[in-house]
Amino acid sequence: MDALANLLDGPRARGAFLLRSVLTPPWSVRIADLAPLTLVHMVRNDAWIRTDDGPARLLRPGGIAVIRGPEPYTVAGDRDTEPQIVIRPGQVSTDPDGDELCERMDLGVRTWGDDPGGAGGPVGESPASAVMISGTYQMRGEISSRLLSALPRVLVLSGDAWSSPLPALLSEEIVRDEPGQEVVLDRLLDLLLIAVLRTWFARPETAAPAWYAAQGDPVVGPALRLLHDDPAHPWTVAELAARTGVSRAALGRRFTDLVGEPPMAYLTGWRLALAADLLREPDSTVASVARRVGYGSPFALSSAFKRVRGVSPQQHRERTAPAS
């Protein structure tokens, strides 16, 4: 498995929050739900995505944005429109004063907004209304930490930059009320996220992580695949060099130049990123995780985890556990 495949192996939506919004202009929604990641697919009319610390990004019909949390942001029909709606933790919608809007703006199955024609489905909606579909991963454990760290705050992929049947399929499925529909929508959201990120990482202008570009190198690429295929193996620079057909010095120098850190430092980071994700699994133990990521004992994993991440594996598990 290559490094990108490992990176994209993380998304696992579990009861993700998916919503079709139908909003009449001027509209503006402040998202303060603390979610780790949200996809927004613009179906009709434009939207601006504004963060508190970056430039506004335009999302046109057919485009998809991936927005990394938990910091708040605003989605609006106009760049300067002040928010009239606030989405809070638990996907509770209120006005800016805190009065709930959920029931008042309910338009049917997974549909919400202020266009009265939207209650009758797309046929009754005003052409002036903005229509967008959002899918929100609600817990950090659903998205691997290594994936989140590789993403910009806001990623926008225009509709003409790629071709996929997934947005249309999601638009069709989101308003259905069938047995097992939640699972169908979770898997569609995962597939859409993976498809968008794979397209985005492949674009030459993308500020992708250094290891992504290094995958194409004839020496470093195979070394990365070896590390990702079997992180539990007791790798040494000497063995990696032998397997890739170069000297230890040549591999160490080339790997550091292209990836930004030596091979063993990269391996440690990869192992601990895997461990951080595995520790969120309810049945895992520090001992079982240690074995899976290449540490000889729970103590060895705990020592490395605390040295690099500043907390013990148990503290990490408690901090990332979903609220009951």
**For residues 322 and 137, is the Cβ–Cβ distance under 8 A?**
no
**For residues 74 and 84, is the Cβ–Cβ distance under 8 A?**
no
**For residues 179 and 168, is the Cβ–Cβ distance under 8 A?**
no
Return phi, psi of residue 42, to 5°. -85, 115
Q: Tens of pLDDT along the chain (324 residues)?
A: 566 666 666 667 777 899 999 999 999 999 999 998 999 999 999 999 999 988 999 999 999 999 998 999 999 999 999 999 999 998 899 999 999 998 889 888 999 998 877 665 666 788 899 999 999 987 666 566 777 878 889 999 999 888 899 999 999 999 999 998 999 999 999 999 989 988 888 887 777 777 777 888 999 999 999 998 899 999 999 999 999 999 999 999 999 999 999 999 999 988 998 898 888 777 889 999 999 999 999 999 999 999 988 989 988 888 766 554
Identify the CATH assignment for 3-202 out of 3.40.1260.10, 2.60.120.280, 1.10.287.3610, 3.30.1490.20. 2.60.120.280
Does this model's pTM top 0.95? no
The answer to whether the Cα torsion of 288, 291, 296, 301 is positive or negative is negative
**For residues 11 and 190, is the Cβ–Cβ distance under 8 A?**
yes
Q: Give the architecture (CATH level 2) of 211-320.
A: Orthogonal Bundle (1.10)
**For residues 222 and 243, is the Cβ–Cβ distance under 8 A?**
yes
Q: Which of 50, 95, 97, 101 is nearest to 76 (CA)?
A: 50
Domain residue spans of the chain? 3-202, 211-320
Which distant-in-sequence residues (6+ apart) come within 8 Å of 263 by Cβ?
Answer: 223, 227, 235, 237, 240, 251, 252, 255
